[in-house]
Each structure stands twice: as structure tokens, then as C-alpha cells.
Structure 1
């Protein structure tokens, strides 16, 4: 990450504004930013990051709350820009530590969050439902909410006014000129704020490397229509459980082609019910039925809208690809549509699902072979446009991997922004007298959720798990008579893991006996030292003969 040499930040200059990202700068996920002014804190977003293959056993990755843990009483509010998991999913874990933090968000955003709070058995905190154009104050922070469009309805940017200056945070956004819900990104508000004078502009970087403008959502409609028209059997459409716009397009296509729709996946069922009840999803009469009822219809009349577009192992789509789903057995003449983008790090899992479905005879339509998904993020042309109408004094790219942040920074420089700050998670940026400067770093590590434990799994634990998964596990037991200096029986070697499946350990037993006998003859009687002899001997043999480095647990039993 940038600025590896930074130390603890100095005290904030009186009257200044401190900005500290606790996640989202270096990853696609766990977005969270802290603003400090006059001794008070404002939080924007609190999301999760989904684990990758090199994080075995991890369920979620959270922002690191350690820097603010002792100051949670200073938090004025948590502003949620939209309802995606990478912006709201960690909120229950924060509220476990202070349940009464006021929540600020749009109607849909807070409605999608509510079931998560119930699952964590959190009492409902004070919630402020806001909409574009609203202003609301918390302590020294005055907020103005601005409409932006994204791949979920009701997304908001937030302008933060303090005596230190004006900050504009876009959240995730794009500039779709033909949005399905008619809700445009409010560029007039962006321009008005620019005329007022934006001192620091925090901008979504996810698509900064992509030239031009992001394709409109409406361009998917005719492609979906063609897919529906050409499908002979069952249709399965996988997308994010919060992608209301995509589900709306599927419902409209189902009506046009005489099909019924069933939702598969708990989060999909829940979220679409919320969106329908609040009026964000228009559900034609009789088109949506229970998945069990749908299974009784002829395949050519079925459409399943499913979770699992990122290849999640336990998702409905993954189980269909493995042929183990309780209701749906995918086969010849079925069509599966993956209507979502590939989140970096998920490529292997997604292609595993695609290959599994293709192996069952299904036709698989995805972003690589058809326009069945468009991004929810502004591309380079849109970012340039925003810089030119906002004309900020300083820019701090947010929300993206390092390459995205740097690409976004270069776009800002090309438009003449005088001060561009490329930060990373935990990097402290102070806005003082209209100038933004990096002043230090605070602790900001990955916090892992593993089952019911939060923050108990360390990087060392993950290293051990990776070794177990990739290289295998060996235990070796030797029984010794220390007084006689003798090995009483041939050591027992037990292996676990696919990497060591079927290995014959006959040869190494003789090597282990010889090494132990030599150590005993040299006067070694310390059990720990003898265990090291066991580990080294067995480790060298496995490395030499099988090119593996398994985890080895040596046990010495003294008779």
C-alpha cells in the first residue's frame, strides 16, 4: 500500500478536518471512512469484504475499528450511502460495540439493513431516513444528500460541511443517462457544490481504468429478451441479491415470454420482498410464485432468479452446478445467465461454476459472451466530467484497488486538480486551511469473521490453514527410552490432505530412527529438541521425494 513509512499522526490542528479511511482503499469492499472535526467523529459507510481463496475458513472481512474503539462515544452518526454489502454489511458488528449510533440512509438502504440488525439481535438504533436534497446536522457536521445512480436504487452522495471546508463523497456512482428508475445522478447539485467550493472530493475509483462512459442499464433489456426468446427449457438468472434493477428486467422479460418467476436464496427472497413492499420493484400480478410451485411447471415456463453469481460455495447456483440442489436439477436445454460482474479474486470460483453448469449440458450466458451486465461505477469519461464540473481544490480517490486509485488520481491531475492525495487504508489526511496533506497512519488490519468469532483469526492462522489445504498435514509419533538411548519402535506417520494421499512412508521411518538414534547417542535428552529432529528429518524427506512442505506435528513419547 502507499506510504509504508508513515508513523502515528500528530494531534489534529485546531479547526482542521481529519479524514481516515478504515477500509476500501486497496480492496473492492469493506468501505468505511472516518471524519474528525472539533473532537467529534462522523462515519461514512461500514461495509464488508468477501474472502478470497487465500483466506480459508473466513466468512467475512471487516474494517478495523481499533482506532475509534476508545472514541465510539464521540461518533455523531453513521451515514450509509447505499445498501450494498460492501458499504453496510459490517454495520451490525460496529453496533455491537455501541448500539445507539444514529444511522443515516435512504429508505431502501435502511430497510435492507434492518434484517441484519435483527439477525444480530440488535435493538433498533435511532434511524434518520433521508432523500436527495435533504440537509441534516450532527454536531459540527452539516450534511447534504445528493442523488446518484448505481446498481441499486436510492444511492446517495454526501456533502459534508464543516468550518474546515466542504467535502463531497460520491459513494459508489455512475452517470447513467437512461436509468431504469428515471433517477439521474444530480450533476446540477455537483456543479452547485463546485461553485460553492469543494475543498476535498472523495471519488469512486472502481472503473477509473475503463475508458469512456459506462453502458446504460437499458442496453441489457434487448439482450435479455433475446436470451428468453431463444431458451428452450428452464431459465436461471443469477445476480446480486440487492440488484433490484436487474430483477425488474427479468420480471418484465418473463411476462413478455409467458414465464413464471421464483426466487432462490434466502437473501434474494428477503431483499426482493422489501423492494416490492417499498415500491422499488414492480411485480406484475401472478408472475412471481414460490420456488416449490415453480418446480411443478414445465421447464419452458420457469425462470429462477438465484444468488451465487460470484461462485460462493454454498450458494444456490453453486449447488445447481454440483447437481446437489434440492429443487433444481440443471440439464440439457436449460439456460443459465450470470447477470453480474466478476469481483476481483472471484474468477476461479465463478469459472468453476460455469464449467460445472456447462458439464451438465446447460447453455451459460455471462458477461464474457453477452451484454447481460453493466457496471454500476463511473468510467474514466464520467470521472473526468465530474472533475470538470466540480473543480475541487483537492481529490482523494476512494473505493478501489491500488491500481484503480492511481488511475483515478491521474484523471484528476489531467483536469488540473492542484492537490491529489493517493492514500491507503489507515492513512491519515488532514484538511487544514484549504489544503489536504498526509500526516500519518493509524493501525488498520484485516479483521476476520470466522463463524461466531470476530478478530480471533490471525494472518498466522490463515498461513497454517493454507499449508493444511495446499500441502497437507503430517503427524509423527516416536516412542523413546532416554535412559538406554534407544528408539523402542518404528515411528508412526499419519497423513491428512489430498497432497499426501496414498504416500508410502516406509522409507522415511528408517531415516527417522537413524536421526533419533544419532541424537540420543550425542546425549540429547530434551524432548523438544528430539521433536525438532523428528520434524526436520520428516520435512526434508517429504520435500526431497514429493516436493511438498506440509505442516508437521512431531510427538515424542518417553517410555
Structure 2
């Protein structure tokens, strides 16, 4: 397994051989999110997915995190298309930012996926070039011949992608599982996988998210009893929080609400938009009169109400978080049941449990994955992955879509089915893999970083910025205003101290005054008189004083005024 020696291929790779297929991982490896893979052949580039990663608590102020495509920025003219495997944010959320740089890059995907991304792009005032495909279809773009296969996932219309080039055949599963009784009766095309296996799959890119989970992923239908229990036993309102793209789960909630005589209202812009599109396209089946607007809902008895909203990951601005904080027009209280009908994404645990605790404090009964069977994963577990390896029998494997533990578990599954250990690759974001003469290997690494979206700013926030924000949040601000005698270079009077988020004892200020005056005296002896230099000196002395006196490290802002 080629992972222990990855540090030895940390240099940028040489140009690919003319007959090779190059794969550049720009996101989705070592993380759950911002999936983006670039395939290069014969001087052209094909991109599969372009998603976002949602920030964690140590990334304050960040809206989303994008893949770093700077390595191909000067080659965007060579991109023949972006293929989208399905409509989840971690696979399509970065597309608007990519298309800002070249709006006419063709987008290839299924009907629902393209509908979701077109609506998102309209908000960015981008008119995309769309090419709709479906399972069983084929398409050629540049040197890439594409074939699309149905895969079952937690959103309809997911596709696996077979990529044929002169260098070999690649099969990319996208996100998938092998639910044999899916709600939409659309199963993963294992027959197609087997057919490609007989043709000879040179490189198999497989979803790793559940590779460390034994057995097979639970069928979506097995959630029905738990959802039915919620609707049967709740005396007042049922409030369901889910991803705005989770059409299958929303369908189950709609069916349960209809069976129990409740009306439904969608809450939140993305939920309204996506469910409207899914209904219009026939992916969501809504009985006549079931869905009503918020004004109609206000006039109904509480036991006839179902609300479906976003916020299952504890996002601060989502509807459910605002309900929990008491800042939403919808008030949650005794007798209400809140159903969290989505998975718990790694990194969001603290935010989610804060919302659960807040809702519980308001008197609601909160039903979630931890106390009821209200969620199943959309990803294949170990048993399903082994099954796929056995029918595809790939020559080379690249584990994708997962954190480090998922990638390694997936790689071990491949080896256990007979794939040669030295042909099973575990890569990081930025690693470059070349497929040449039937063999794949890591040949180098390009620099990739987190690209932060902060309001209207893309890429302006750095790790240094985030460190400063954390320091501001944890340590506070200490502003030191000093009046300096220009003749002596010493303090003309004691400095003024202004603090925000930093508590201090005024009895300790004389020691700071003494330290600053002593440092200024030394600066005067060495003819250090410029204001920037003096401000740096005062900042250093103040930081030392704060560490010694309070064991804190506030952000120090020095202000020097010449008298």
C-alpha cells in the first residue's frame, strides 16, 4: 500500500507522459467535504465534482471552505467540463466560485443535480452551460469518453462515472451505497460495474466514508417505524430538520405527515427552493393540499402542524439553530418534537449537541440518531465495498471521500479482496497520481491550501487571520495609548488603557507604565524615534506584562502620540 512513503513524493511532479492519465486530488481526501478531482490527458482537463467543506469551531467567521484549484488556474481554458456526481453541497457547492473565473465551463450531470446547481448559480448571476445526462448514457468531451451509471445515495439521481482514455479505464463511484429497497426503486448498477470489470478497470476510485463500518448499510425504509412513532406520539408540532437536498428523507416525512392528518410547511430559503425543484421534476411526490405556507400554518392547531427546516448540523444561521436560540419567529416549547433526520458530520458534534440541549431546555422532545433510528447513511459500508471490489477486480485503487481512517480502512478492504498492496493508493489533497501502462502511482505533490469564503471575500482569510480571530475571541483586546515627549523620548504621562474582553486590575498598571518607560529610555539611547518602531516596542512590553501578570495573551494595539 503506497502510503508510508508519501513524504518522498512531496515535490511537484514532472510533466505527464503523453500516453498517461494524470489524477490530481484537490479536495475530499483526509476530510468529509470539498470533493474535487482533476483528470488530465492529452493536454486537456476534466473535473469531477467541485464541493465545499463546512467550517469547524476553530475557523470563526468562515462561511465555507473551497478546494484550492490555483494549480490549474492558468489552465482553465483547457478544462473541457465539470462532471457532477450528485447534488450535495460537498460536491457542487464550489461550482459558483469556479465559474466566476470561467463562466462557460460546461457542467455535466443528472437532471436533479443540474436543477440544484442552476438555481444556486442564478443567485450568483451566472448562466451556466448545462449538459444533462442519465444512467446508461455516454458522452465524449475532449479526449475523455464518459459513461454514466446509476448509484443509490441519500439524494436521487446520483451517478458513478466511467472515464475512458487512451491511458486506460477509470471508474469513479461518487457517493453510493447498495440499498436493495430504495424509496425511488433506483438501485446501484452493479451489473454495469461488473461489465466494466470484465472490460478491465485500470483505476477504481471508491467512496470511503463508511469503510470502517462492518456489514451493509441499513436500508432507508427501515427508518419508517421511528418516523411513524414521532408523528403518532407527538401532542403538538413536529419539527423536522434535515439537509435541504435530502429528498428521500423529506419524502418519508411527507408520507408520515399525510397519514397522520398533518399539514407541512417548509422553512428556510434553501429548503423551499430545493423541495420546490424536486417536486416540479417529479422526484418528490406531494399529496394535494399537504404543503401550505407559513401564514396558513399559523392558523392551524399545533397537533396538525409539521415544519421541515434546515439546521441539522448546528449551523448558527440555520432555522433550527435560531429556534433553539429564541431568535426565530417560530417558538419551540413543551409538547413539540424536534426530529433531527440527518447524519452527524465529523467536526459538527459540539454545535449539534448545543442545539439539542437548547431545544431540550425549551421543553421540546428531541429525537436524533443517538436515541432513535431516524437516520441511515448514504454511503456503502465495508460489506458493500468488498462486494464491489470482487465484481470490478480493478488493477489499481485510489481510496477517496473520507478522513484518514476511512481511506486506510478502504485500502485494506481492497487488499483483502486480492488487489496488490503496492497498487492500492492512499493519497492526500494535492497528491498527483499518474496512470501509465496499466500502473498507477503517486508521482508528486502540488501545494494546496484551504480557501476560505468569508462573506464576499474569497481566499482573503488565511490561517494567520483565523489565529488572530481565535486570539481575539479567547484573549480579548488591550489598547495602549501613550503620549511621548519628543525631547526626551520618554512618557509624558501614564498610558491610557482601553480593553475589550480582557479583564485587568488597575493596581497592576504602574508595573506596565514602568516597563514601557524603561523600554522607551533604552530606545532613546539608541536613537529609535520613529512611531512604528516605538509602537512595536510598546506592543512587546505590553504583551510580556500581560503574560507575566495575568497569564493571558490579548491582542495588543499600541497608539503613540507625540507631545
The one of 337, 355, 362 aligned to 2:357: 355
Partner of 1:225: 228
User: What is the DSSP-based 3-state SS (H/G/I as helix, E as strand, rest coil) of the residue aligned with 2:54?
Assistant: coil
Q: Distance in 2 between matches of 1:444 and 1:242?
A: 29
Partner of 1:25: 29
The answer to whether the 8 Å contact 1:508/1:538 transfers is: no
Q: Distance in 2 between matches of 1:47 and 1:295?
A: 37
The Cα offsets for residues 84-132 of structure 1, whole Å up to 9 and x where unpaired, read as 010011111111111111111000000011111111111232x111110
User: What is the DSSP-based 3-state SS (H/G/I as helix, E as strand, rest coil) of the residue aligned with 1:487?
Assistant: coil
Q: How many Å apart are 1:292 and its aligned residue?
A: 2.3
User: What is the DSSP-based 3-state SS (H/G/I as helix, E as strand, rest coil) of the residue aligned with 1:247?
Assistant: helix
The Cα offsets for residues 187-236 of structure 1, whole Å up to 9 and x where unpaired, read as 11111110110000000011111111111000001110011111011110
Partner of 1:280: 283
Partner of 1:194: 197
Q: How many Å apart are 1:528 and its aligned residue?
A: 4.2
**Cα 1:53/1:265, change in 2 over 3 Å:** same
User: What is the DSSP-based 3-state SS (H/G/I as helix, E as strand, rest coil) of the residue aligned with 1:160?
Assistant: strand
What does 1:397-416 correspond to in 2, within 5 Å? Answer: 397-416=399-418
Q: Distance in 1 between matches of 2:482 and 2:509?
A: 10
Partner of 1:492: 496
What does 1:216-295 correspond to in 2, within 5 Å? Answer: 216-295=219-298
Partner of 1:105: 109
Q: How many Å apart are 1:4 and its aligned residue?
A: 4.0
The one of 387, 390, 406 aligned to 2:389: 387
- Report whether the alignment pairs 1:43 with 2:44: no
Q: TM-score, normalised by structure 1?
A: 0.97
The answer to whether the 8 Å contact 2:151/2:187 transfers is: yes
Q: How many Å apart are 1:147 and its aligned residue?
A: 0.3
Q: Distance in 2 between matches of 1:213 and 1:355?
A: 32
The answer to whether the 8 Å contact 1:515/1:533 transfers is: no
Q: How many Å apart are 1:464 and its aligned residue?
A: 0.8
User: What is the DSSP-based 3-state SS (H/G/I as helix, E as strand, rest coil) of the residue aligned with 2:81?
Assistant: strand
Partner of 2:344: 342
The answer to whether the 8 Å contact 1:482/1:520 transfers is: no
User: What is the DSSP-based 3-state SS (H/G/I as helix, E as strand, rest coil) of the residue aligned with 1:43?
Assistant: strand
Partner of 1:366: 368
Q: How many Å apart are 1:323 and its aligned residue?
A: 1.4
Deviates more, 1:44-53 or 1:528-537: 528-537
Q: Which blocks of at least 5 consecutive residues in structure 1 are unaligned?
A: none
Q: How many Å apart are 1:425 and its aligned residue?
A: 0.7
Deviates more, 1:437-446 or 1:103-112: 437-446
User: What is the DSSP-based 3-state SS (H/G/I as helix, E as strand, rest coil) of the residue aligned with 2:405?
Assistant: helix
Partner of 1:507: 507
Partner of 1:438: 442
Partner of 1:152: 155
The answer to whether the 8 Å contact 1:511/1:537 transfers is: no
Q: How many Å apart are 1:493 and its aligned residue?
A: 1.3
What does 1:410-425 correspond to in 2, within 5 Å? Answer: 410-418=412-420, 419-425=423-429
The one of 115, 132, 143 aligned to 1:129: 132
Deviates more, 1:477-486 or 1:293-302: 477-486
Q: How many Å apart are 1:508 and its aligned residue?
A: 3.6
User: What is the DSSP-based 3-state SS (H/G/I as helix, E as strand, rest coil) of the residue aligned with 2:231?
Assistant: helix
Q: How many Å apart are 1:538 and its aligned residue?
A: 2.4
The answer to whether the 8 Å contact 2:512/2:545 transfers is: no
The answer to whether the 8 Å contact 2:516/2:541 transfers is: no
Q: Distance in 1 between matches of 2:300 and 2:197?
A: 56
The answer to whether the 8 Å contact 2:152/2:176 transfers is: yes
Q: Distance in 1 between matches of 2:465 and 2:200?
A: 48
The one of 454, 461, 472 aligned to 1:450: 454
Q: How many Å apart are 1:529 and its aligned residue?
A: 4.5
Q: Distance in 1 between matches of 2:338 and 2:489?
A: 67
User: What is the DSSP-based 3-state SS (H/G/I as helix, E as strand, rest coil) of the residue aligned with 1:440?
Assistant: strand
- Report whether the alignment pairs 1:117 with 2:121: yes
Q: Distance in 2 between matches of 1:266 and 1:311?
A: 17
Q: Distance in 2 between matches of 1:487 and 1:369?
A: 64
Q: TM-score, normalised by structure 2?
A: 0.96
Q: Distance in 2 between matches of 1:547 and 1:374?
A: 47
User: What is the DSSP-based 3-state SS (H/G/I as helix, E as strand, rest coil) of the residue aligned with 2:366?
Assistant: strand
Partner of 2:484: 480
Q: Distance in 1 between matches of 2:493 and 2:430?
A: 56
Partner of 2:67: 63
Q: How many Å apart are 1:547 and its aligned residue?
A: 2.5
The one of 322, 330, 333 aligned to 1:331: 333
CA RMSD of aligned residues (A): 1.3
Partner of 2:516: 516
The one of 310, 314, 323 aligned to 1:311: 314
The one of 174, 177, 182 aligned to 2:177: 174
Q: Which blocks of at least 5 consecutive residues in structure 2 are unaligned?
A: none
**Cα 1:530/1:510, change in 2 over 3 Å:** farther
The one of 162, 187, 204 aligned to 1:184: 187
Q: Distance in 1 between matches of 2:48 and 2:14?
A: 23
User: What is the DSSP-based 3-state SS (H/G/I as helix, E as strand, rest coil) of the residue aligned with 1:96?
Assistant: helix
Q: Distance in 2 between matches of 1:144 and 1:98?
A: 25
User: What is the DSSP-based 3-state SS (H/G/I as helix, E as strand, rest coil) of the residue aligned with 1:33?
Assistant: strand
